[in-house]
Amino acid sequence: MNPPREELGRHKPASGVHIHLGQPTIVFATVDAEHRVPWIAQPKVHQLLVEVWREAQVWLVGYYLLMPDHLHLFAAPHNLDIPFNRWMSYWKRLFTQKANNTEWRWQSLHWDTRLRRSESYTEKWNYVRENPMRKGLVIKPEDWPYQGMLNVLPW
């Protein structure tokens, strides 16, 4: 069992993703529902998130997984002029506008980390995709319907 985030040392998310030109950049992010209310893992939300991420393509979403009260995604820059934090705010706002549901609210902050090497992406994804199984929601990770990949991220 993983310790709560507050026991991991950081009390709030670090700010900003540093992009090093000439090196691939993949960011792993976790976004929580406000107050961890479980509304995210459902077909309508899944469909709307995919639509919003396809529209907001200044950062490209690779693998993603939705849990009832949070989501994980991997993203890479498509436009170096738009910082990651700005893109996150944009797609959350776009989702909220399109959803037109006052009960579906995001926490304002998110957790992100820039992956350092290609095997990190695969390792992190394999860990993330087992979340529904660890929570007893499915028997096998591939049975979880609220996951996918929108873009192949560059490594």
CATH of domain 23-149: 3.30.70.1290
Instruction: Answer whether 77's CB lies under 8 Å from 19's CB.
Output: yes
The pTM of the full predicted model, rounded to 2 decimals, is: 0.85
- Please tell me the predicted confidence (pLDDT) of residue 7: 45
| Helix, strand, coil share (%) of the chain residues, nearest 5 | 35, 20, 45
Tokens representing residue 13 in the block: 């998310």
* Strand extents, DSSP E, the chain: 27-32, 59-66, 70-77, 111-114, 147-149
User: Bridge partners of 70?
Assistant: 32
Which H or E run includes 51? helix 43-55
Per residue of the chain (155 residues), give pLDDT as tens: 444 444 444 444 344 555 555 556 899 999 999 999 999 999 999 999 999 999 999 999 999 999 999 999 999 999 888 999 999 999 999 999 999 999 999 999 999 888 877 668 888 999 999 999 999 999 999 999 999 999 999 86
